[in-house]
Amino acid sequence: MSQAVTHGDTIWLSGQVGTSGASVTQQTKDVLAKIDRLLAECGSSKSRIVQAIVWLADMGDFEEMNAVYDAWIDPANPPARAAGESALAAPGYRVEIIVTAVK
């Protein structure tokens, strides 16, 4: 599986997850750090994200995840975002974020 795919000026990241079993806050921080790193490797940054899709194992964790996300996102360039609840790849994962960005 590719962690990042580029075509022209568009970058798609696969779903990023944090450390299994960690708190929602820590998993969200881990995910966002991975997104920062992958976008930098592709020649972009969080200010160039056009869409974010957030999957939570439990929508009851939305406010905890959102507090970390809101502190991280570029307020001058917030992407379109959706959030939903879904069973994730392993029981210890509570947050997964998928982004599309441009160079």
- pLDDT tens across 5-52, in order? 999 999 999 999 999 999 999 999 999 999 999 999 999 999 999 999
**Residues counted in the chain:** 103
| pLDDT one-digit tens code per residue, 87-101 | 999 999 999 999 999
Residue 66 has pLDDT above 90, yes or no: yes
The pTM score is 0.96
pLDDT of residue 1: 83
Helix pair angle (24-41, 62-72), 10° resolution:
40
Segments making up each domain of the chain, as ranges: 4-102
Does the domain at 4-102 match CATH 2.60.120.620? Answer given as: no
